[in-house]
Amino acid sequence: MKRISQYLLVLAIFILSGCAEQWLDRKPQNIILEEQVWNDSKMITGLLANYYDRLPAHTSLTTGWAEFAAYDEAMWSNNDDGRNNIVSYPFDRWRLWDYGLIRDINLAIENIETYGTSLNEGQKTQFSAEFRFLRAFVYFELVKRMGGVPLVTKQLIYDFNGNPAYLQQPRNTEEEVYDFIASELDAVKDQLGNDGSNTRANRFTAMALKSRAMLYAGSLAKYNNLMASPIATPGREVGIPAARANDYYAKSLAASEEIINSGKYQLYKTNPNLGENFYDAITKKSANPEIILAQDFLVSKDKRHGFTYDNIARNVREDNLSSSSITPSLNLVEDYEYLDGTSGELKTRNAGNTDYIYYDNLQDVFANKDARLYGTVIYPGTSFRGTPVQIQAGVKVWNQASNSFQNVESNTLGSNYDDGGLLTGSSGPQRSQTEVTNSGFYLRKYVDQTAMSSTRGIRSDMWWVRFRLGEIYLNASEAALELGKAADAIKYVNLVRERAGFGANSLKTLTLARLQNERRVELAFEDHRVWDLVRWRIAHEVWNGNASNPDAVIYALYPYRVVRPGHPTHNKYVFDKLVAPRFRAPRFFQMGNYYSSIEQIVIDNNPKIVRNPFH
């Protein structure tokens, strides 16, 4: 025994020593080294994809999508009542402090210079430009929620000397952050490349971001200072001087016009049916000249999401659960004007308010409305994927004795009344059931028409649009209006309205209020509503927490079939407007919500960080 083990030992020493150098000095199989990444344009592109994917949004198809139901565009009709009962928006609601992503991008910008030896100068410049675009995007997301934040553009390295004070950067002013975004975008726009791409940034994407950011800065400079007591900190971490307003508006207008005048993008006008056309304009992924930047998904590569599963109308759902989560409000539906330019309030009662108006068909009450209503909302009498979405709350039976109608509603979706006609639609609405609309409407925008996309097994690869030309026209119009260029302002907004069916030159005069409504209806469910109200400084008035304020309360529309045999109104339709039955607390936006609170741990780690007002 002993002998054999001695031989074995000797043998082993021979074998191992012979190839020891290669054996111990191998390349790791599970770690990618900096030199490998920064000399391989495919790996850099992969890294970029990661950063694009991590771009923050308050509400998108994947991030915080449910919060579309937390404002006045929609309410929540799925299980739980959280979003219908927000007593007041908490001060940390829009908080964002994503310096992890900022650091990753800073690191990338530095490393591509240090390690990228085999890339040519052109590639290096282009990739660096794209990283800087992403960093500007993140800083815009930070400044619009938090006010001025520390502008960190280099990686911060601790030298373990026991005193980290030299790493603690105070907040820059709100003005400085917006100026930084503008100068970065101007610096990189000629280097970006990616011509014609709508999922990676090119020069027009940079200008689209600049157009939006400068519009925000301009309106903050103007409207914050028009408040009775402007929101500001002594160090201007929050609060842009009023004198800067015109400069910012001019920059926004110039950026918008660079995109418009380039001729590279057009409003989508392919489908002759204007309502369908507006739906296609946002959701069609091929041959769509309107989209400037989108976050794309692909089912076959497992990049997909459940937005359609959660929000499809009840009777067209393909799964046995969910559906109907985000259901648009009557408030939004009535903000879509009639095509003759009159207020969009639905006509449900006669002129003297003594009786209903009786309609032959459910959809007739929506006749001659802005085509964008159809493209955004599924309303009674319309279809989805070719299947009628049956929306009817019940029947109104005439009671001869009391000379009035009596409501009959059923808890069984798709049930019939005694006379053989429909009682309650297979898509509701229902007053207290979940997973069926409570407001009388369903969401169409961003809900996928592809077969099986509402099943949990397959899901949807609908894309999320970050910038599109429609917004740029409205940005240009608003900036021009603020700069006193009324003719340009009217020209741009009319182009957007023309696509919605209003005819050419539908507006002859323009006010900011009109433009505010135009943004509400064009950009509904595209993550604009909160930020628009915040920058115009009207959020605390529109959502003032008062149950008597129709803007702060979510309304519903319940259609009924009339049962009155022998009378001309028999089997016609009437509509009741009511406060949505599941809606509890009026929307309440406080002054402390204009800037979100900074987390205590951030202040603990860096005492130079100043708190935001009211926190």
Partner 1 sequence: MKTTNHFFKPMLLGLLSLVALSSCEKDNRAEPKSELKGRIVYEGAPVGVRSNGVQLEIWQRGYQLFTKIPVYVNQDGTFSASLFDGNYKLVRLRGNGPWVDNTDTIDVELRGTKELDVPVKPYFVFQNDVYSKGEGKVSATFNLKQVDNSRTLERVNLYVGTTTIVDPNNNAVNVQEIAANITDLSKPITLTATLSPTLAKREYVYARIGVKTSGVGEMLFGAPQKVMLR
Binding segment for partner 1 (CB under 8 A), chosen from 55-63, 165-173, 282-290, 597-605, is 597-605
Q: Which is nearer to partner 1, 228 or 504 (CB)?
A: 228
Alpha helices in 2-54 (DSSP H): 2-18, 20-24, 34-37, 41-53
Apex 390 CA angle, 389 and 392, nearest 5: 140
Check residue 451 for interaction with partner 1 (CB under 8 A).
no
Member of 144, 212, 540, 582 binding partner 1 (CB under 8 A):
540
Tokens of 427: 């898509």
DSSP-assigned beta bridge partners for residue 238: none
Member of 25, 121, 302, 604 binding partner 1 (CB under 8 A):
604
Check residue 509 for interaction with partner 1 (CB under 8 A).
no
Check residue 87 for interaction with partner 1 (CB under 8 A).
yes
Least distance in angstroms from the C-beta of 603 to partner 1: 8
Q: Which is nearer to partner 1, 166 or 614 (CB)?
A: 614
Residues whose CB is less than 8 angstroms from the CB of residue 1 and which lie 6 or more positions away in sequence, other chains included: none
* Backbone φ, ψ for residue 197 (5° rounding): -80, 140
Least distance in angstroms from the C-beta of 583 to partner 1: 12
Burial of 450 (0-12, 13-18, 19+ CB in 10 A): middle
Check residue 579 for interaction with partner 1 (CB under 8 A).
no
Q: Which is nearer to partner 1, 501 or 613 (CB)?
A: 613
Sign of CA dihedral 368, 374, 379, 381: positive
Least distance in angstroms from the C-beta of 540 to partner 1: 6
**Binding residue count for partner 1, defined by CB under 8 A:** 22
Q: How far apart are the first and last CA of the chain?
A: 80
Q: Which is nearer to partner 1, 137 or 543 (CB)?
A: 543
Q: Please report, for residues 214, 219, 260, 518, the alpha-carbon distance to residue 481 in angstroms, rounded to integers and kept in the order given.
A: 14, 12, 17, 14
3-state secondary structure of 519: helix
Q: Which is nearer to partner 1, 340 or 604 (CB)?
A: 604
Check residue 402 for interaction with partner 1 (CB under 8 A).
no
Binding segment for partner 1 (CB under 8 A), chosen from 162-170, 223-231, 274-282, 572-580, is 223-231
Check residue 546 for interaction with partner 1 (CB under 8 A).
yes
Q: Which is nearer to partner 1, 357 or 591 (CB)?
A: 591
Least distance in angstroms from the C-beta of 601 to partner 1: 9
Q: For residues 407 and 394, is the Cβ–Cβ distance under 8 A?
A: yes
Q: Please report, for residues 18, 130, 280, 472, the alpha-carbon distance to residue 522 in angstroms, rounded to integers and kept in the order given.
A: 74, 29, 13, 12
Report how far residue 295's alpha carbon sits from residue 468's, in angstroms, rounded to the nearest whole number: 12
Q: Which is nearer to partner 1, 86 or 397 (CB)?
A: 86
Q: Which long-range contacts (CB under 8 A, 24 or more apart) does 190-198 make?
A: 191/125, 191/126, 191/128, 191/129, 192/126, 192/129, 192/130, 192/133, 193/126, 193/129, 194/130, 196/264, 198/288, 198/291, 198/292, 198/293, 198/294
Check residue 239 for interaction with partner 1 (CB under 8 A).
no
Strand 442-443 to strand 422-424: parallel, antiparallel, or no bridges (unpaired)?
unpaired
Check residue 82 for interaction with partner 1 (CB under 8 A).
no
Least distance in angstroms from the C-beta of 421 to partner 1: 31
Report how far residue 81's alpha carbon sits from residue 491's, in angstroms, rounded to the nearest whole number: 43
Check residue 228 for interaction with partner 1 (CB under 8 A).
yes
Check residue 586 for interaction with partner 1 (CB under 8 A).
yes
Binding segment for partner 1 (CB under 8 A), chosen from 222-230, 267-275, 379-387, 420-428, is 222-230
Mark 349-378 with x for binding to partner 1 (rule: CB under 8 A) and - for no binding. Answer: ------------------------------
Strands (E), 181-317: 291-295
Report how far residue 381's alpha carbon sits from residue 554's, in angstroms, rounded to the nearest whole number: 22
Check residue 88 for interaction with partner 1 (CB under 8 A).
yes
Check residue 606 for interaction with partner 1 (CB under 8 A).
no
Check residue 545 for interaction with partner 1 (CB under 8 A).
yes
Check residue 226 for interaction with partner 1 (CB under 8 A).
no
